[in-house]
Amino acid sequence: MTKQGVVVPVPAEAAVAMPPNSAPLFPYPPPRAAAPGAAVRKKYLQMGAGNGAGARPGGWVESMRASSPTHARAAAALAAGVDEDRRAAWMVEHPSALSKFDQVVAASKGKQIVVFLDYDGTLSPIVDDPDAAYMSDTMRRAVRSVAKHFPTAIVSGRCRDKVFEFVKLAELYYAGSHGMDIKGPAKGSRHTRAAKAKGVLFQPASQFLPMIEQVHESLVEKTKSIPGAKVENNKFCVSVHFRCVDEKSWSALADMVKSVLKDYPKLKLTQGRMVFEVRPTIKWDKGKALEFLLESLGFADCADVLPVYIGDDRTDEDAFKVLRRRGQGVGILVSKHPKETSASYSLQEPAEVMEFLLRLVEWERLSKARPKW
Ligand SMILES: O=P(O)(O)OC[C@H]1O[C@H](O[C@H]2O[C@H](CO)[C@@H](O)[C@H](O)[C@H]2O)[C@H](O)[C@@H](O)[C@@H]1O
């Protein structure tokens, strides 16, 4: 069923650029560090790094509001009253991956499905306390079944160890810190020869570790005065949560984060669901991680693979865009509301993600049992 992976020698320049603790098993051009200094930082601080925040006066706060569930609900209610057609039109553009299940699997004919799953908001429901974002046992069973049939990776903004603590499945690939920390299955993979090696595969931002530590400390110190603010160390990036911060303090919090980042021109600021994300300015994201993993599995520039990526956040858009660019694969956005996205399909919530995963497993079981004539 699976395609055998091919280990290609690492080009000398890539091997040199790789951090000492990453096994040079898989070739990949090392990410280019963005031009150091003001230009890059200015762009991210002013433009809001892809989310448009900051381009207008008060842009960050506006953007923070847009990611608030209360505001999203109010906006959704308004939109429902005013323009029910908008949602219907969005669903035509991004139909449910459940109702179009046959179409999704038909695309996999003669191809190896590889499954990529975001964690928060995809496998676990969004909750106030990031340390309590547990995944249900039923979801874990579903993911375990998927991994028995298809190579499966978790791609998360979280620190890799933390997301592993939640998922607890040793047979998966894990790409933590928005793809900047990639590791293969603890026991090696049953799916490909290339992935039999265990351990850390790639850490393209390892030189940023001391800087991230410093920024983490500064952010903890600086934001202490804002009740509800929570700073999370995600190893190669830092999250500053404002889900539990009074809206009146959002502007002050955004200013604090920006003032800390002034001293770190090699870090950029982006925004997720009620969270600021501080990340190195290297050109590496969930999309690059997806491509790296496909390559590691032996599917570089290959037509007989169907990557299926499921995610709910802005950072998942980088992966959806890669699928669009390759003209290959299935991007599924998890969202109850119409959102601008490069995904092709949608699912409303983690419960639907589970249903989709279980159907995929069932379909694979039946297709193996089906006589081939
Ligand atoms: O890429 P992901 O796996 O989706 O990680 C993105 C961020 O997820 C977490 O924050 C989000 O979920 C929390 C728990 O439900 C919620 O409280 C928070 O408001 C959300 O933004 C995680 O804590 C972050 O570090 C990740 O970057």
Q: Which atom of ligand 1 is nearest to the CA of 234?
A: 25
Q: Check residue 52 and give its pLDDT.
A: 35
Ligand 1 mean position, distance from CA 130 (Å): 6
Integer Cα distance of 373 and 76 in angstroms: 50
Residue 238 CA to ligand 1 centre (angstroms): 11
Would residue 246 count as lying in a domain? yes
Residue minimizing CA distance to atom 27 of ligand 1: 157
Q: What spacing in Å lies between the alpha carbon of 1 and ligand 1's midpoint? A: 34
* Residue 183 and residue 332 in one domain: yes
The protein residue whose alpha carbon is closest to atom 7 in ligand 1 is 157
Say if 226 falls within a structural domain.
Answer: yes
3-state secondary structure of 317: helix
102 with 189, same domain? yes
Range of weakest confidence among 29-38, 70-79, 295-304: 29-38
Residue nearest to atom 6 of ligand 1 (CA): 157
Q: What is the mean pLDDT of residues 36-48?
A: 33
Q: Which atom of ligand 1 is nearest to the CA of 274?
A: 19
Decide if pLDDT at 80 tops 70: no
- The answer for residues whose C-beta is within 8 angstroms of residue 94's C-beta and 6 or more apart is 333, 341, 343, 344, 345, 346
Residue range 21-41: mean pLDDT, rounded: 34
Arithmetic mean of pLDDT over the chain: 82
In a domain, 13, yes or no: no
Query: Of all atoms in ligand 1, which is nearest to the CA of residue 119?
Result: 3
Q: What is the 239 CA–ligand 1 centroid distance (Å)?
A: 8
Q: Are 60 and 311 in contact (CB under 8 A)?
A: no
pLDDT at 65: 74
Closest-lying ligand 1 atom to the alpha carbon of residue 163: 3
CA of 22 to the centre of ligand 1 (A): 26
**Do 101 and 184 fall into the same domain?**
yes
pLDDT (average), residues 161-167: 98
Diameter of the chain by CA atoms?
Answer: 69
pLDDT beyond 80 at 213: yes
Ligand 1 centroid–CA 273 distance in Å is: 7
Query: Which of 245, 280, 315 delimits the end of a domain?
Result: 280
Closest ligand 1 atom to Cα of 154: 3
Whether residue 230 is predicted with pLDDT greater than 70 in this model: the reply is: yes
Residue 4 within any structural domain of the chain: no
User: How far apart, in Å, do the first and last CA atoms of the chain sit?
Assistant: 17
Same domain, yes or no: 295 and 362: yes
Per-residue confidence at 187, pLDDT binned at 50, 70, 90? low
Distance CA 248, CA 228 (A): 12
Query: How far is it, in rounded angstroms, from Cα 249 to Cα 327?
Result: 43
In this prediction, residue 42 has a pLDDT band, given cuts at 50, 70 and 90, of: very low
What strand order describes the sheet that includes 238-241?
230-233, 238-241, 275-280, 267-272
- The confidence score (pLDDT) of residue 189 equals 62
Per-residue pLDDT at 332 exceeds 50: yes
Question: Which residues are near ligand 1 (CB < 6 Å)?
Answer: 118-121, 126-128, 130, 133, 156-158, 232, 234, 239, 241, 243, 272-275, 277, 313, 315
- The answer on 103 and 228 residing in a single domain is no
pLDDT of the residue at 57: 41
Does residue 293 register a pLDDT over 60?
yes
Nearest protein CA to atom 13 of ligand 1, as residue: 130
Rounding to the nearest 10 degrees, give the CA dihedral for residues 73, 256, 287, 243: -30
Protein residue whose Cα sits closest to atom 4 of ligand 1: 120
Q: Which amino acid is at 361?
A: V
CATH number of the structural domain spanning residue 211:
3.30.70.1020
Nearest ligand 1 atom to alpha carbon 130: 14
- Average pLDDT of the residues in 4-26: 28
One domain, residues 190 and 335: yes
Residue 301 pLDDT grade (very low, low, confident, very high; cuts 50, 70, 90): confident
If you count them, how many residues does the chain have?
Answer: 373
Say yes or no: 252 and 291 in one domain. Answer: no
Q: Which position has the token pair 């983490």?
A: 216
Annotation says 118 is catalytic: yes
| pLDDT for residue 256 is more than 70 | yes
What does the alpha-carbon distance between residue 23 and residue 218 come to, in Å, rounded to a whole number?
32
pLDDT of residue 81: 58
- Assess whether pLDDT exceeds 70 at residue 1: no
Shared domain check, 311 and 251: no
* Active-site option among 85, 118, 161, 313: 118
The SS3 call for residue 267 is: strand
Q: Return d(Cα 316, Cα 120) in angstroms, integer.
A: 11
Of the residues 280, 296, 323, which one is the last residue of a structural domain? 280
pLDDT over threshold 80, residue 333: yes
Using a 10 angstrom Cβ sphere, with 0-12 exposed, 13-18 middle and 19 or more buried, the burial of residue 330 is: buried
Q: How far is CA 325 from the centre of its chain?
A: 17
CATH code for position 355: 3.40.50.1000
Q: What is the pLDDT of residue 19?
A: 32
Is 251 part of any domain?
Answer: yes
Residue 304 Cα to ligand 1 middle (Å): 33
Lowest-confidence pick of 22-31, 112-121, 170-179 = 22-31
- Give me the mean pLDDT over the 81-107 stretch: 90
pLDDT of 352 reads: 98
Q: Where are the alpha helices (DSSP H) in 18-83?
A: 38-47, 59-66, 69-82
Q: Tell me whether strands 267-272 and 173-176 are parallel, antiparallel or unpaired.
A: unpaired
For every residue of 94-122, DSSP letters joined together read S-BTTTTHHHHHHTTTTSEEEEEE--BTT
Lowest mean pLDDT among 35-44, 77-86, 240-249: 35-44
Q: Is the pLDDT of residue 167 over 60?
A: yes
pTM of whole model > 0.95?
Answer: no
Residues 258 and 182 in one domain: no
> Ligand 1, residues 235, 274, 275, 277: which to mutate, most atoms within 8 A of Cβ?
275
Higher model confidence: residue 76 or residue 304?
304
Helix (H) or strand (E) holding 275: strand 275-280
Q: What is the mean pLDDT of residues 15-41?
A: 33
Same domain (yes/no): 104, 251: no
| Residue 159 belongs to some domain of the structure | yes
Would 11 be classed as within a structural domain?
no
pLDDT at 48 over 70: no
Look at residue 71 in the predicted model and tell me its pLDDT: 63
β 275-280/267-272 pair status: antiparallel
Domain boundary among 280, 309, 343: 280
Q: Which of 256, 207, 211, 262 is CA-nearest to residue 238?
A: 211
Domain, as residue range, for 169: 95-194+286-369
Asked if 188 and 305 sit in the same domain, the reply is: yes
Side chain identity at residue 365, one-letter code: R
Q: Is residue 119 domain-shared with residue 189, that is, in the same domain?
A: yes
78 versus 110: the higher-pLDDT residue is: 110
- Assign 124 to helix, strand or coil: strand
Number of domains the chain contains: 2
**Residue 49 in this model has a pLDDT that exceeds 50:** no
When pLDDT is cut at 50, 70 and 90, the band that residue 82 belongs to is low
Q: Region 147-152: what's the mean pLDDT?
A: 96
Element (H, E) at 223: helix 209-223
| H/E run at residue 253 | helix 250-261
- 88 within domain boundaries: no
Paired residues of 249 in beta bridges: none
Q: Residue 335, Cβ neighbours under 10 Å: how many?
A: 20
Instruction: Give the distance, in angstroms, between the CA of residue 373 and the centroid of all CA atoms in the same chain.
Output: 40
* DSSP characters over 152-183: EEEE-SS-HHHHHHHH--TTSEEEEGGGTEEE
